[in-house]
Amino acid sequence: MNSFVDLLVPVAVVAVAFVLLLGLINMLRGGSPNRSQQLMRLRILLQLLAIIIIMGVIWWRAA
């Protein structure tokens, strides 16, 4: 179980970074503004989830 918890934080951070890069690529290529908005909303959601996961891991290790 501990290795699963240790894997959650890097996966969450990589997911946020991946969506951020997709948004940057879309913007630099002059892609659809609607697509940029969708990616921004997804990035914000993933950041929220990443913060929740990080705080949960901190709580888990403190217990």
Domain ranges of the chain: 2-62
- pLDDT tens per residue across all 63 residues of the chain: 677 877 999 999 999 999 999 999 999 999 899 999 999 999 999 999 999 999 999 998 887
Residue 54: C-alpha distances to residues 24, 29, 50, 62 (Å): 25, 33, 6, 12
* Through-space distance between the first and last CA atoms of the chain, rounded to whole angstroms: 14
pTM: 0.85
Tokens describing residue 22:
């997709």
